[in-house]
């Protein structure tokens, strides 16, 4: 007998008539009649399987996926790092997780206090005056920030400030957010070192300027070395500077954006502060603002009061010139709690260590791999490094092929084809929580793939070889998923 290949039968195909997956306890409520006959279907096919079979089936399915818990996951810009379990546990304490958002304030003082403190910690970390936790994603933070910029200029009677400058090394959500807020986006090119082109910036700074949106570090993984001059130049013509701080793990404890000249920014708690970014789960993109824009923050924010008898009390408040609500209630509270626990457990010294490890890890990869992979901007990077598969492409092996080949080696692919200004980009973010052994393994694998690309390109171009499915039409799989089981002879409904 040959060893069996992977058991790929679907649950329906494992069904055996009469087999049961659960035994219900005796009824402890009065029995209720079934719905009327015409609502019942006698022909509904359901899998009849044992509990063990169900567990085995779904556990196996879950293991076909890549996750930070099972694989190295260097997906650039996404910070797929290890997040301590204790922060999840804290967020799940019943005193937090069982709250209702409409409960009277006096019954949720502890929760409000945690939010208040987190607002303060985040403002301190980035050098701003005030924070709103209301926004539920990085991109939503950007939109809120842009609406604040607009409200600010309108409040000063400067409705003609309609232009927002966005460097070509910004995150793709930046121009989209500025456009959604009603601005006209003008792109500022990068120079050959990966910084913003200062002449182009100066040329674009006119009386029509509302502001600049700048990702720091930029999507090349580089720190804008002219940042002080950039902020000054924009301020000189009455514009404001928005900072995309989604990748703050590069700067924690090192640089405060408020002190560099930024007026408003967002953070991604679901990257830097202990909630994973992948998987489409809940996120939080708090907005922090300096003195000019703090009155415009989205509502609510949490305020602290001290009563006459010295007792402290917390309440939800509305900033004076708020842009209003951007989401239901007050943001993703569970994500905020994880961030609160993360900051409290690391402390100031721990946060500094995060950025140190993030930056050293990325520079280690840069130094070890730049022989094999073209490095478009040859200078020290921040928390991530962008290579180009330009040399490999000359042999017909593209960034996509290298990414797919990594799957065969048990490594999640890096971000590909982004940033757009790098040909065949491979954007690698090792994150601060990976060991040197893991990074060494990755280096070894990337070097092996570079050799394959030279000597046996076909093996890379046809990868992955060890997964149940190889190359999918990913757009079609996402837009027209085929999720319904059909028995033999049952055709798919037309159009699917």
Q: Of 137 and 463, which CB lies nearer to ligand PLP in the complex structure?
A: 137
Please choose, out of 232-240, 241-249, 293-301, 479-487, the segment that lies near ligand PLP by the rule CB under 6 A: 241-249
Least distance (Å) from ligand PLP to the CB of residue 288? Answer: 15
Contact flag: residue 139 with ligand PLP (CB under 6 A): yes
Q: Three-state SS string across 125-141, please?
A: HHCCCEEECCCCCHHHH
Residue ranges in 270-289 that form contacts with ligand PLP under rule CB under 6 A: 283, 285
Q: Of 269 and 294, which CB lies nearer to ligand PLP in the complex structure?
A: 269
Q: Of 227 and 397, which CB lies nearer to ligand PLP in the complex structure?
A: 227
CB-based closest residue to ligand PLP: 138
C-alpha span between 418 and 338 (Å, rounded): 29
Site mask, ligand PLP, residues 355-394, x = CB under 6 A? ----------------------------------------
Instruction: At 104, list the tokens.
Output: 């009277």
C-alpha span between 234 and 210 (Å, rounded): 9
Give the three-state DSSP class for 90: helix
Query: Can you tell me which of 66, 68, 72, 77 binds ligand PLP, judged by CB under 6 A?
Result: 77
| H or E stretch at 303 | strand 301-306
Contact flag: residue 268 with ligand PLP (CB under 6 A): yes
Contact flag: residue 169 with ligand PLP (CB under 6 A): no
C-alpha span between 29 and 61 (Å, rounded): 36
Query: Can you tell me which of 178, 213, 246, 369 binds ligand PLP, judged by CB under 6 A?
Result: 246
Query: Can you tell me which of 49, 118, 137, 297 binds ligand PLP, judged by CB under 6 A?
Result: 137
Please choose, out of 181-189, 242-250, 379-387, 402-410, the segment that lies near ligand PLP by the rule CB under 6 A: 242-250
Contact flag: residue 247 with ligand PLP (CB under 6 A): yes
Q: Of 188 and 449, which CB lies nearer to ligand PLP in the complex structure?
A: 188
Contact flag: residue 171 with ligand PLP (CB under 6 A): yes
Contact flag: residue 132 with ligand PLP (CB under 6 A): no
Query: Can you tell me which of 224, 244, 263, 424 binds ligand PLP, judged by CB under 6 A?
Result: 244
Residues contacting residue 475 through CB under 8 Å, at least 6 positions apart: none
| H or E stretch at 341 | helix 333-369
Query: Can you tell me which of 190, 215, 322, 392 binds ligand PLP, judged by CB under 6 A?
Result: 215
Least distance (Å) from ligand PLP to the CB of residue 240? Answer: 18
Least distance (Å) from ligand PLP to the CB of residue 263? Answer: 17
Place of tokens 């720091």: 216
Nearest to 330, CA basis, from 354, 305, 297? 297
Query: Can you tell me which of 112, 119, 121, 138 binds ligand PLP, judged by CB under 6 A?
Result: 138
Least distance (Å) from ligand PLP to the CB of residue 425? Answer: 14
C-alpha span between 493 and 255 (Å, rounded): 57
Instruction: At 54, list the tokens.
Output: 């169900």
Instruction: At 271, list the tokens.
Output: 């990257």
| Residue 176 Cα distances to 37, 142, 184, 256, 284, angstroms | 52, 9, 10, 26, 18
Contact flag: residue 224 with ligand PLP (CB under 6 A): no
3-state helix, strand, coil in the chain (%, to 5): 40, 15, 50
Please choose, out of 132-140, 206-214, 318-326, 389-397, the segment that lies near ligand PLP by the rule CB under 6 A: 132-140
Q: Of 87 and 173, which CB lies nearer to ligand PLP in the complex structure?
A: 173
Contact 475, 412 (CB under 8 A): no
List, as own/partner pairs, every contact residues 396-401 make where C-beta atoms lie below 8 angstroms and the sequence separation is at least 24, other chains included. 396/457, 396/461, 397/453, 397/457, 397/460, 397/461, 398/424, 399/424, 399/425, 399/426, 401/453, 401/460, 401/461, 401/463
Site mask, ligand PLP, residues 396-435, x = CB under 6 A? ----------------------------------------
Write the Ramachandran bin of 226: left for phi over 0, alpha for psi from -120 to 50, otherwise beta: alpha
List, edge to edge, every strand of the sheet that includes 264-267: 130-132, 287-289, 264-267, 240-245, 209-215, 163-167, 184-188
Q: Of 148 and 397, which CB lies nearer to ligand PLP in the complex structure?
A: 148
Contact flag: residue 122 with ligand PLP (CB under 6 A): no
Q: Of 76 and 361, which CB lies nearer to ligand PLP in the complex structure?
A: 76
Q: Which residues sit at the interface with ligand PLP, rule CB under 6 A?
A: 77, 137-139, 171, 173, 215, 244, 246-247, 268, 283, 285
């Amino acid at each position: 007998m040959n060893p069996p290949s992977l058991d790929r039968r679907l649950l329906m195909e494992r069904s055996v008539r009469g087999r049961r997956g659960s035994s219900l306890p005796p009824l402890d409520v009065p029995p209720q009649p079934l719905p009327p006959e015409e609502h019942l279907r006698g022909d509904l096919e359901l899998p009849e399987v044992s509990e063990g079979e169900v567990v085995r089936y779904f556990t196996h399915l879950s293991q076909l996926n890549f996750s930070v818990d099972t694989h190295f996951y260097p997906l650039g810009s996404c910070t797929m790092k290890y997040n301590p379990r204790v922060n999840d546990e804290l967020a799940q304490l019943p005193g937090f997780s069982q709250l209702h958002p409409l409960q009277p304030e006096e019954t949720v003082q502890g929760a409000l206090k945690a939010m208040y403190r987190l607002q303060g910690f985040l403002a301190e970390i980035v050098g701003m005056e005030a924070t709103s936790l209301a926004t539920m994603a990085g991109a939503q933070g950007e939109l809120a920030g842009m609406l604040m910029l607009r409200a600010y200029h309108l409040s000063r009677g400067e409705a003609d400030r309609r232009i927002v400058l966005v460097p070509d090394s910004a995150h793709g959500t930046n121009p989209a957010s500025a456009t959604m807020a009603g601005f006209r986006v003008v792109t500022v090119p990068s120079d050959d070192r990966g910084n913003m082109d200062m002449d182009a910036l100066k040329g674009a700074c006119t009386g029509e300027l509302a502001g600049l949106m700048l990702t720091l570090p930029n999507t090349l993984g580089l720190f804008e070395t002219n940042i002080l001059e950039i902020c000054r130049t924009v301020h000189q013509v009455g514009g404001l500077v928005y900072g995309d701080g989604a990748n703050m793990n590069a700067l924690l404890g090192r640089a405060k954006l408020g002190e560099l000249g930024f007026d408003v920014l967002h953070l991604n708690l679901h990257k830097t502060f202990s909630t994973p970014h992948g998987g489409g789960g809940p996120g939080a993109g708090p907005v922090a603002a300096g003195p000019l824009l703090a009155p415009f923050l989205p509502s609510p924010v949490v305020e602290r009061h001290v009563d006459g008898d010295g007792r402290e009390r917390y309440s939800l408040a509305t900033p004076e010139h708020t842009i209003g609500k951007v989401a239901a209630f007050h943001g993703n509270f569970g994500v905020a709690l994880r961030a609160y626990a993360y900051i409290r457990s690391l402390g100031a010294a721990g946060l500094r260590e995060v950025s140190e490890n993030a930056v050293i890890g990325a520079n280690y990869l840069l130094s070890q791999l730049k022989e094999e992979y073209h490095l478009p901007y040859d200078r020290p990077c921040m928390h991530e490094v962008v290579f180009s598969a330009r040399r490999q492409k000359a042999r017909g092996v593209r960034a996509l092929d290298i990414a797919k080949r990594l799957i065969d080696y048990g490594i999640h692919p890096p971000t590909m084809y982004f940033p757009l200004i790098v040909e065949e980009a491979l954007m690698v973010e090792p994150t601060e929580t990976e060991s040197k052994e893991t990074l060494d393994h990755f280096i070894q694998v990337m070097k092996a793939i570079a050799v394959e690309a030279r000597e046996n390109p076909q093996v890379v171009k046809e990868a992955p070889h060890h997964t149940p499915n190889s190359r999918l039409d990913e757009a079609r799989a996402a837009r027209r998923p085929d999720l319904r089981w059909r028995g033999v002879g049952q055709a798919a409904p037309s159009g699917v």
